[in-house]
Structure 1
């Protein structure tokens, strides 16, 4: 569908025409989910073409026979499905157009592709090279590291003098030929030859920077509440989130944001539910697990286990990959 639209339309003109609604969608996604997709020009282009073709021109191409239903896709890609829900509400606001379930699938897929692009970039370890042998030696180290470790991205090469005068510290690792005192950032000492023992240290650092460590810690530190029964969804959410509010982990407004989110699209999956709210009202990331002896009616399911993941905006930005994997 995307290829056909690109052949039919003047892409640049369409992107320009759709600019207001596309950036309104991306603005709302950033506000609700703390994910900034505004710099993803590929997503901007594809969303512009999709909305222009299906909403404005009513160019309804017959959708492919996908292996999954729209609700299955929501379970498989919950973050991108959430984005599709937000986009659908903006489309309705702008054009009084109700997005169909089939179109929701395509919106979800557009956003999932964008998320995968973000993950690839976010997973890279940003490193700098500090070298006192000159720029040629620094470039040699940089080239060798890039060729051997695809997960490392060298973002700069500096002399010690230039390094000490850096204003921004947007790197995860320092590769240095000189001794560095009192660095808060991990330092691995290398030579222009980048010897085998130096490569082993770099590999060890990469392996230790495993996303599972983040999730394991969050799960181990989760708050677990046990209840015999609950009358309805609002009662169980109010009880659980009150514990988070009392612990000053979330603001009182968080409860309403969770309830409002459930109204848009219920989050039950069989006997589980995964409600969540606005990260702007979260002070500290916490996983709340609620266990019920007797299930509570939740949309179409009888839910006994509730996983409410309250993620702060800062944590979502710092740990994007492990949190979206969860």
Structure 2
């Protein structure tokens, strides 16, 4: 089974609804006819596996399990059995080449790679260019020597971190007790022995490693053994050695080193004990145990507390949301960042197994973490990747949820009007049309305030000044102006499940910001194209484009399902708008195929407004059938109608 067929199987398994050949063809970059042929061949290959791919004309494909629950297990078995197949997709070839280069101790020729992968040398040249970009992110380079081939060059510690990153990228769902996925990289090293050594060492520690920290340390020790056997060791600066030897974790690291030397018959230099100490310090958790801010300050130091407050202030400045009084956020971030800074100081990586879920479920919190991380980068001169940002986003996500709990839900409204019941009825009708979920429980003249308080409303709208303290009051005009509606919207904390959010989203589209059948194959060229479109229409400042590119370099804005949503991290919008590009054909955007690009240019708004727009947009584009319709839209009018008619 080739890589393309495996992708088809995985996609069918992920989706509960039938998937069309058109959608699969765009996702895979092949014709619908090729997809149909693949489906036919797949059914032949899996006909004895208690599963079958059913075709519903005009509807699509779906998997039928003919053997009960066993069918899903069979699919996973089929996919696992095929892991050793020769890579055929470009991204799989790139991973294969990266692995070969990282594990090789000598030069590799392009001809060798072409022979191993059954492709031409020119194809390998293109793949190697992509490999170089991956290596550069880890401060490594590709060394070319005529008549010898290619080889990875760089600092030993950077090389080890790159190997660790590569392994984690391939084994994103790995658990603590499942080391089998690592074994292919370390065929001559017993990972079970390393696991037992770490478990034994934990008995001398006053804390337990998290599952992620445990597996991270296991990988790095296995890499260390492999590299030492190749006569490669880490060069640790003298000041770092002196600093680490004073730590309690250094004694634990020494015990780990002694056990490794005994079990694996290797001689580990002193730098390796320091290397393990760094890992233990980077994994050390801190519990709040109901401590107050002064206690936390003693643990993490004044500087870190002040940096956390700067991070929260920066987020508040950009998203117009006040977290400054949220002590749980301040304490949680400070305790999280203390060990994180130890890791980042030495460029130590820690994968985030739920990163994609965080980006999908809490896009607003993830964007806040990007804004906050700029402060960390500036204050400590460190690089922060999207895995670490994902952890920071979890704290902001929790803070957002706490704000929702504290914000009283407004349902029942009364109207006070001095100019008669006719005007009051007109106001009530307009309010219900704009905010249909609100319940108008009464309309009163201004002299019946006692009856108003007895009705116990959540909100009072009045055309005259009144003196009521315990209930929110908004004074409005007799015609309920646009400004009045905006003030009502802000105080009632508009629910993102309402139709008004869809209307707010649709108002951001503009026929001057819509392009169809765009023939550009590079995502940064598309970003440049749409940024220029917004700039020429005076919707953004000149700096907007640079900010969008910087955001894209931090973490891909592709959200899957053929959609990317590039945007700025620093605003630079004069008016809030969305520029749309429907590409002629899907292109590679990060790890995904993308055909629909929607660039957000959002002027300063409240967190609630920002969250509502993001949630509404994600609700629309997460449905693959809607995305297919949107990519087929002839013009902006049809595009907006498709979005408008998409059911929640």
Using the size of structure 1 for normalisation, the TM-score is: 0.67
For residues 42 and 293 of structure 1, what CA distance do their matches in structure 2 show? 48
Task: Name the structure, 1 or 2, with higher relative contact order (CA <8 Å, separation 6+).
Answer: 1
Q: Tell me the secondary structure at the aligned position of residue 234 of structure 1.
A: helix
- The answer to whether residue 309 in structure 2 is matched with residue 23 in structure 1 is yes
Match of 1:37 in 2: 323
Match of 2:503 in 1: 216
For residues 300 and 53 of structure 1, what CA distance do their matches in structure 2 show? 30
Match of 1:7 in 2: 289
Unaligned runs of 5+ in 1: 59-64, 146-152, 164-169, 175-179, 187-204
Q: How far does residue 230 in structure 1 lie from its aligned partner after superposition?
A: 0.9
Is this contact kept in 2: 1:218–1:286, CA < 8 A? no
Match of 1:192 in 2: none
Mapping of residues 130-141 of structure 1, within 5 Å: 132-133=447-448, 137-141=451-455
Q: Tell me the secondary structure at the aligned position of residue 5 of structure 1.
A: coil
Structure 1 or 2, whichever has the larger Rg, is: 2
Unaligned runs of 5+ in 2: 1-209, 211-284, 345-350, 417-445, 486-491, 618-648
Q: 1:171 to 1:321 in 2, by over 3 A?
A: farther
For residues 45 and 128 of structure 1, what CA distance do their matches in structure 2 show? 41
Q: How far does residue 72 in structure 1 lie from its aligned partner after superposition?
A: 3.3
For residues 415 and 328 of structure 2, what CA distance do their matches in structure 1 show? 31
Is this contact kept in 2: 1:125–1:172, CA < 8 A? no
Q: 1:267 to 1:132 in 2, by over 3 A?
A: same
Match of 1:194 in 2: none
Match of 1:300 in 2: 591
Q: 1:54 to 1:208 in 2, by over 3 A?
A: closer
User: How many residue pairs are counted as aligned between the two chains?
Assistant: 279
Is this contact kept in 2: 1:287–1:308, CA < 8 A? yes
Structure 1 residues 135-154: Cα deviation after superposition (integer angstroms, max 9, x where no partner): 6x454233xx3xxxxxxx44
For residues 559 and 497 of structure 2, what CA distance do their matches in structure 1 show? 28
Match of 2:164 in 1: none
Mapping of residues 214-293 of structure 1, within 5 Å: 214-219=501-506, 222-223=509-510, 224-270=514-560, 271-278=562-569, 280-293=571-584
For residues 454 and 570 of structure 2, what CA distance do their matches in structure 1 show? 43
Is this contact kept in 2: 1:35–1:317, CA < 8 A? yes
Using the size of structure 2 for normalisation, the TM-score is: 0.37
Q: How far does residue 11 in structure 1 lie from its aligned partner after superposition?
A: 4.0
Is this contact kept in 1: 2:464–2:475, CA < 8 A? no
Return the match for 1:71 from 331, 352, 356.
Answer: 356
Q: How far does residue 254 in structure 1 lie from its aligned partner after superposition?
A: 1.3
For residues 92 and 39 of structure 1, what CA distance do their matches in structure 2 show? 24
Q: How far does residue 288 in structure 1 lie from its aligned partner after superposition?
A: 1.8
Structure 1 residues 207-244: Cα deviation after superposition (integer angstroms, max 9, x where no partner): 99964323235336524211342142222112212222
Q: How far does residue 12 in structure 1 lie from its aligned partner after superposition?
A: 2.9
Is this contact kept in 2: 1:262–1:275, CA < 8 A? yes
Q: Tell me the secondary structure at the aligned position of residue 7 of structure 1.
A: coil
